[in-house]
Homo-oligomer: A and B are copies of this chain.
Amino acid sequence: MSATDRPTYPVDKRNRVKRRHERGFYDHDTVHRLLDAAALCHVSYVVDGQPYCTPTLFWREGTRLYWHGSSASRMLRSLKAGQPACLTVTHLDSLVLARCGFNHSADYRSVMAFGHACLVSDPEEKRQALVMMVDRFFPARTAELRASTAQEIKATSVVTMEIERASAKIRAKGVADEDGDYALPIYAERLPIRTVIGEPEPCSRLPAGVERPSGLAGYRAGRRLEEALSEAYARTYVR
């Protein structure tokens, strides 16, 4: 595929992958797939010149990102006015043990998304976002839940950011030593890393007869979390 036959985020000095530029991708498909395979992101923003890096759960809708938190949090108060932010997702795939220190590395897939974050203030957009905050991870679950109270809705703030620039960076080559080093009597390996789901732990206070909904079947022990998240995303949103 060429870069011209599919939608791509604009590239400028803020998001161009400078180091190892062959690892950089800007097309929507690559960027979105890596985002949709994750639940956890880290968001950077600035308050009084101090950068903050905050972990949070997030999701994507088209070219918009959403995340949430308490109205009391530092991050949300600073974002009310529409602040520059950077949301990053990283999938760590391996640690790489090479034959020299310099070539020790890691395989990873990451996305950095840039834009201006602002609070969702429109009541209908917020109502819909609070549904997707659950249903993006657990499709159609909100319909099964006790409805949110006005106080709960008030206590939850939703932040949104249109992706203005984005880059994906992928390293997936395992051991990559200098040609002359392969003959050395030094052990080298790729150590795969994966994030997986454990055995689901039903709440100990479930009333008799309440069974696990079939819609959660994708979240099963031993499966990669990113597979379950990508599958759930595809059930909730048409790409």
Question: Which A residues contact B (CB, under 8 angstroms)?
Answer: 14, 18-20, 39-40, 42-46, 49-55, 57, 69-70, 72-74, 84-88, 90, 92, 95, 97-102, 104, 106, 108, 110, 112, 114, 130-131, 133-134, 137-138, 141-142, 144-149, 152, 155-156, 174-175, 177, 181-203, 205-207, 209-213, 216, 219, 225
Which 8 pairs, one residue from A and one from B, show the smallest C-beta to C-beta distance? A192-B198, A44-B53, A44-B44, A44-B51, A102-B152, A55-B90, A53-B88, A42-B42
* Given A50-B114, A187-B206, A210-B187, A88-B201 contact (CB < 8 Å): no
Helix, strand, loop or mixed for chain A's interface? mixed
Residues of B within 8 Å of A216, CB to CB, are 97, 187, 189
Q: By the criterion CB–CB under 8 Å, are A53 and B190 in contact?
A: no
Beyond the given pairs A144-B187, A185-B207, 18 more chain A to chain B contacts, judged by CB atoms under 8 angstroms and listed by A's residue number, are: A42-B44, A51-B86, A54-B112, A55-B110, A92-B195, A97-B138, A100-B147, A101-B130, A101-B133, A101-B152, A102-B152, A174-B203, A177-B203, A182-B203, A186-B210, A187-B211, A193-B197, A194-B195
